[in-house]
Structure formats: structure tokens, C-alpha cells
Amino acid sequence: MRKPSRCHPGKLELFSPRYAKPWEVGLCAECHARVARTRAVQRERARERAERARRVREAAIRKGELSTSAPGVSPEEWSKVLATFKGRCGYCARLSQKLRINFLVPPTRGGLSHPNNVLPACPRCEHSKGKRLITEWPSASKIVRPEWLAALTRYTLAHAE
């Protein structure tokens, strides 16, 4: 049964509490439309801010004001790491144009920002590994080259906390 709305007691509420989002409960149709417009404007503004920040970051990288490498790893050292892995992901060996820096031992776990602690990772592997060590990562079994897994595991265990 529809009750009087909390915004305008003379009008009936549009949604029952059972099927509504918390901010919709008890609103009349007019107020619900106003809230929906406001939320749409907020989402659009957030999207514009994110796009503007992305363009500023890309411009800074093009100008050389911002490095694409990790702190403590110079662009030259990162280039050497990429050359070592021949433009492939260090975990799955997938050829990728979007290789990202991934720490074998994450800085949050005591890892250093050093070329020996970074590895190129495709977005998929980087996202799934997160801040875990290689030994804690369930997808480590999917590493293509067994010698890589052995070397990565040795390095991780030697440099872990």
C-alpha cells in the first residue's frame, strides 16, 4: 500500500520500500525525478574530472615531466627490463603493448624500488596478482616458463620480509 510521501505529505510515495533504493523511499514522483537528475549530473561531472586528469597525465608523460617507470626505477632501467623480457608479460609471456610495472615483492610488503624487483606484467596478470607475493598468487601455476617461476620464487623468498 502506498503511503503519503515524506517530501510532500499531500502526495503519495512513488516507490514502496521493498523495491526502492534507500534514497528513493518515501519520495513523490517529482522529488524522485529531481534526485535522479542530480545523481546523473554528479556521475557526468566525475567522468569529466577523470577524463581531464587522464589527459593532463598523458600530456605530462609526453613532455617528459612525468615518468612511466616506477619510483626508483629510471626509464632506462625499465627499458632494459622490457628488453630482457622481449616485450612480453613476465608471468604469462603474452605479447602486450600495455605492459605495466609490477613488483615481485610489493613495496607494501617491504620490496624495494629496484630494477631487480620489477617485472613487466600485462594488465590481466597485474590485476590478478595485486599486492601478493608470487608464492601467494594462485595463478602462479599458469606461468608459462617453469624456469621463470623458479627464479621468481627464489627472488621473492630471498627479498621477502
Q: What pLDDT, on the 0 to 100 scale, is given for residue 42?
A: 94
Each domain of the chain, given as residue ranges in start order, spans 1-66, 75-159
User: Which CATH number applies to 75-159?
Assistant: 1.10.30.50
C-alpha grid cell for residue 72?
Answer: 626508483
Q: Where is average pLDDT lowest: 8-12, 19-23, 92-96?
A: 19-23
HEC secondary structure over 49-85: HHHHHHHHHHHHHHHCCCCCCCCCCCHHHHHHHHHHC
Which residues touch 118 (CB under 8 Å, ≥6 apart)?
70, 73, 78, 81, 101, 102, 103, 104
Q: What is the pLDDT of residues 126-138, one digit of tens each?
A: 888 888 887 787 7
Angle (CA) 80-86-90 rounded to 5° is 90
Render pLDDT for 55-109 as a digit per residue (tens, 0 to 9). 888 887 677 665 555 567 888 888 888 888 888 888 888 888 888 888 888 888 8
Output the pLDDT for position 161.
Answer: 45
